[in-house]
Structure 1
Amino acid sequence: MRPVLSQPCSWVLQVLLVSNLFLWENIYSMPMCFDMEEYIEIPIEELFDSAIVMAQYTSNLTRQISEEFDANFVHSLGYKARNFSTCHTTLLATPASNEQIQQTKSDVLLKMMISISRAWYHPLKQLVRALATLEGACKTILLKVIEVEETNQKFLEEIKAILVRIHPGAEENIYPAWMGLADVRSADEDTRHFALSNLLHCLDSDTDKIATYLEALKCSIIHNNNC
């Protein structure tokens, strides 16, 4: 039996997805605004628990997506070795070890997570668009990426709510712009596949990083580091 990703996509599904993605192109630069009122009455521990569940789920999902994509579109060791090029979010100074995480102030760590999540807003939209039109990529991987995009927005809301609750009046940091659109849209298949593979590896790394930060932060704030 052929892998799911190599099976023909539903023609109707593709038309609907591509049509919607062309509409998204027109709102690419719109700012994201969230209503925080719905989170006011939620206990802070519940907010943490909900955000952690989303972060862990997204981390597992992005790893699946990256592995599925490489299994279907990356065919040589030399090609795979190139996938560790710089991610756009490496411009953010983030703690790498458990000790560094514990030494980072809670507001700083929360702002880092918000910056990382916001930095993926546009890349995720373009990733969905690229996979919807990529020959050989079908329903399974595409729907997973759409789910990651949607979950990222909900996660961002909850992290912002946590920041406001713990540090009222705190302002968000700027986030790095993604400059890889040209490669993702390249007419050269190898360039396009490499760009998508690299983007997925970066996404996997960042979602894992966020899940780690969030668990450490809950341990610090809710349990006073007694975990």
Structure 2
Amino acid sequence: MLQMLLVSNLLLWENVYSMSVCFDMEEYNEIPIEELFDSAIFTAQYISNLATQLSEEFDTKFAHSLIYKAKNSSTCHTTSLATPASIEKIQQTQSDVLLKMMISTSRAWYHPLKQLVHTMATLEGACETLLLKVKEVDEKNQDILEELKAILVRVHPGAEENFYPAWMGLADVRSTDEDTRRFAISNLLQCLASDTDKIANYLEVLKCRIIQNNDC
């Protein structure tokens, strides 16, 4: 029975796209929309800064060699979302589309972050600071996801969320080969820093558009 439960849990980890994350939006109903934006922007910027610190600190300690720098192509599991990169493209993207992109991106990090917490806790040579930062990013990602969903409901009532991309990198992060494992973690953290920075930037654009009528 124990083995069956372990296999079931592993299958849930592998098929991350099949699992939904639900939140109670009722507590956000009374919050003014501008305050929701301010809170979400603060949270997103905080996560972005923390993720960047994590990536830099991990690479300095575990992946600083030329081999890692040459190999690290930062292929991210969220690339399929095709998020706009330039200011012009962001400005041309509809508000509901941007919000759903951000929600999909945040949801796509739910399971990778859970695995990162476990990995940092068992990674030989990892300091407590790295583990605490990963845990905090994991917690804050839940906060930003709730805030993004609340904004979507308020700005575009009835809008349906998009699917979020599956993360297929679990095997590499769990690899017994140390080089493979460290490279996978390094790549994951770089992608995390990039994605969280995008969310912070998109929120700034949306606040300017929706709250300030592009007068900013």
Structure 2 unaligned regions, length at least 5: 1-5
* Residues 1:136 and 2:116 aligned together: no
**Contact map agreement 2:47 2:137 (CA 8 A) in 1:** yes
Q: Shift in Å at residue 215 of structure 1? A: 0.4
* Residues 1:206 and 2:195 aligned together: yes
Q: Distance in 2 between matches of 1:212 and 1:48?
A: 12
* Residues 1:62 and 2:51 aligned together: yes
Q: Distance in 2 between matches of 1:77 and 1:60?
A: 25
Q: Residue 152 of structure 2 corresponds to which residue in structure 1?
A: 163
Q: Residue 66 of structure 2 corresponds to which residue in structure 1?
A: 77
Q: Residue 195 of structure 1 corresponds to which residue in structure 2?
A: 184
* Residues 1:175 and 2:169 aligned together: no
Count of residues paired in the alignment: 204
Q: Residue 118 of structure 1 corresponds to which residue in structure 2?
A: 107
Alignment RMSD (CA, Å): 1.5
| TM-score for the superposition, normalised by structure 2 | 0.91
Q: Distance in 2 between matches of 1:115 and 1:132?
A: 27
* Residues 1:98 and 2:82 aligned together: no
**Partner SS for 1:177:** coil
**Contact map agreement 2:45 2:197 (CA 8 A) in 1:** yes
Q: Deviations over 1:56-97 (max 9, x none)?
A: 010000000000000100131231232223100001121110
Which of 20, 23, 31 does residue 42 from structure 1 map onto?
A: 31
Q: Residue 51 of structure 1 corresponds to which residue in structure 2?
A: 40
Q: Shift in Å at residue 33 of structure 1? A: 1.2
Q: Residue 14 of structure 1 corresponds to which residue in structure 2?
A: none
AA matched with 1:173: N
**Contact map agreement 2:55 2:190 (CA 8 A) in 1:** yes
Q: Deviations over 1:158-179 (max 9, x none)?
A: 1000000011000000010000
Q: Deviations over 1:11-57 (max 9, x none)?
A: xxxxxxxxxxx9xx688565311111100010000000000000001
Structure 1 unaligned regions, length at least 5: 1-21
**Partner SS for 2:197:** helix
**Contact map agreement 2:78 2:108 (CA 8 A) in 1:** yes
AA matched with 2:35: E
**Contact map agreement 2:74 2:188 (CA 8 A) in 1:** no
**Partner SS for 1:84:** coil
AA matched with 1:118: R
Q: Distance in 1 between matches of 2:63 and 2:85?
A: 28
Q: Residue 209 of structure 2 corresponds to which residue in structure 1?
A: 220
Q: Deviations over 1:161-198 (max 9, x none)?
A: 00000110000000100000000000000000000000
Which of 143, 150, 159 does residue 139 from structure 2 map onto?
A: 150
Q: Deviations over 1:91-148 (max 9, x none)?
A: 1121110010011000000000000000000000001111110000021010001000
